[in-house]
Amino acid sequence: MCKFKIQFGKVLILTLLISSIIMQGGIIGSIAQSEPIRIMPIGDSCTAGMGDPQGGGYRTDLYYHYENAGLNVQFVGSQRGGPSTLPERNHEGHSGWTIPQISSNIDGWLNDSNPDVVLLWIGGNDAILSGNINTTGLSNLIDQIINFKSDITIFVADYYPVPESIVDYNVTIPGVVQEKADAGYNVHFVKLSDIDLVHSTDISSDRLHLSPSGYSKIADIWFDSTIDILQSMDDTTPDQPDIKYGDLNGDGVIDSSDYMLLKRHVLTIAPLEDTTAADLNGDGIIDSTDVTLLRRYILEINTVFPVQE
């Protein structure tokens, strides 16, 4: 009877420990997800989404394009706009602003949000409001961003051809981008002027900004022009799930069932088909050391496996 009580006490302790692991979501021992790619959309009213009743502009569709492609992204910035259902609403779109105004504020924005990527769509108001084809200002603004973070990725866009006066500015932008790329910086051109623009449906009632359908087309161009580069920056692999070390039966919980599977594998009673999650010390061998590590983990003597340290 005494022996039975001792065994029962051990089982009860193990059960309580396993319950604790379950209540914590079974997350101990799993590889953490990668950090999101921090994207800062910067520009004027086109970035702010003017013309779109919900204020998301191209950013709404672009976010969902990235999500559907399996990218882990976060839009950053001091402004917020877009439908309430949009998970990422931050940006630096400022209606009516010119390149000098953006330049005067961008150091603070970059410092506060520390983006990995900038989507730069600016200079339209310089040309439209004052007739200033501010190519030099654009070049200096790109340099200002690079000086803050030399390895930052910048996508620089031209404008859809409304009004026609914007075309003179558009033709100068690729040369600026090429100059930065030739200098070895991660600067890329996005040709939004390639939009298949239907004025009757894609331009808003103010006859200047885009309508939701126009912004959707612009989002497609942003996506097509950026996706390959962003995927190369993303260190997650959606087709290969994170390894949850110790979870040998794949039920999301690390418990005595996994311990028994590992022990039977080491004793060659019932070998595991996939031993990836069983190599707990990362030495490439599944043996009694891994069995001991798993037991110590379940008893909460250890909270991580050596392979994760």
The string of DSSP letters for 50-104 reads TTSTTS-THHHHHHHHHHHTT--EEE-SSEE-S-TT-S--EEEE-TT--HHHHHH
Predicted local confidence at residue 237, as pLDDT: 42
pLDDT of 215 higher than 60: yes
User: Any idea of the CA torsion for 98, 178, 77, 206, to the nearest 10 degrees?
Assistant: 50
Dist. CA 260–CA 22, nearest whole Å: 18
CATH of the domain at 174: 3.40.50.1110
Average pLDDT over residues 258-265: 91
User: Any idea of the CA torsion for 254, 257, 262, 264, to the nearest 10 degrees?
Assistant: 180
pLDDT of 40 higher than 50: yes
156 lies in the same domain as 296: no
Nearest to 187 by CA among 122, 234, 118: 118
**Residue 203 falls in which region: left (phi positive, over 0), alpha (psi -120 to 50) or beta:** beta
Predicted local confidence at residue 238, as pLDDT: 47
Residue 208 lies in a domain: yes
Average pLDDT over residues 74-99: 97
Dist. CA 16–CA 22, nearest whole Å: 10
132 lies in the same domain as 276: no
Residue 248 lies in a domain: yes
Stated as kind and residue range, the H or E segment containing 126 is: helix 124-130
202 lies in the same domain as 299: no
CATH of the domain at 254: 1.10.1330.10
What is the percentage of the chain residues whose pLDDT exceeds 70? 86
CA atoms within 13 A on the CB side of 41: 29
Average pLDDT over residues 103-129: 97
198 lies in the same domain as 119: yes
Last residue of a domain, one of 173, 207, 233: 233
pLDDT of 207 higher than 80: yes
Residue 147 lies in a domain: yes
Secondary structure class of 24 (helix, strand, coil): coil
Last residue of a domain, one of 198, 233, 268: 233
Tell me which amino acid residue 70 is: G
219 lies in the same domain as 247: no
Average pLDDT over residues 66-74: 96
User: Any idea of the CA torsion for 244, 249, 255, 258, to the nearest 10 degrees?
Assistant: -100
Residue 174 lies in a domain: yes
82 lies in the same domain as 224: yes
Work out the pLDDT band at 235, boundaries 50, 70, 90. low
User: Any idea of the CA torsion for 141, 144, 148, 150, to the nearest 10 degrees?
Assistant: 90
Token pair in block for residue 182:
């030739």
Residue 291 lies in a domain: yes
Q: Which residue has the tokens 């609403």?
A: 89
* Structural domain harbouring 96: 37-233
Residue 3 lies in a domain: no
pLDDT of 31 higher than 70: no
46 lies in the same domain as 181: yes
Residue 24 lies in a domain: no
296 lies in the same domain as 176: no
187 lies in the same domain as 300: no
97 lies in the same domain as 139: yes
- Answer whether 32's CB lies under 8 Å from 235's CB: no
Domain count along the chain: 2
> What's the pLDDT tens digit per position in 47-61?
999 999 999 999 999
139 lies in the same domain as 120: yes
53 lies in the same domain as 196: yes
pTM (2 d.p.) = 0.68
Last residue of a domain, one of 233, 262, 279: 233
Residue 125 lies in a domain: yes
In Å, how far from its chain's centre is CA 295? 36
Average pLDDT over residues 22-36: 48
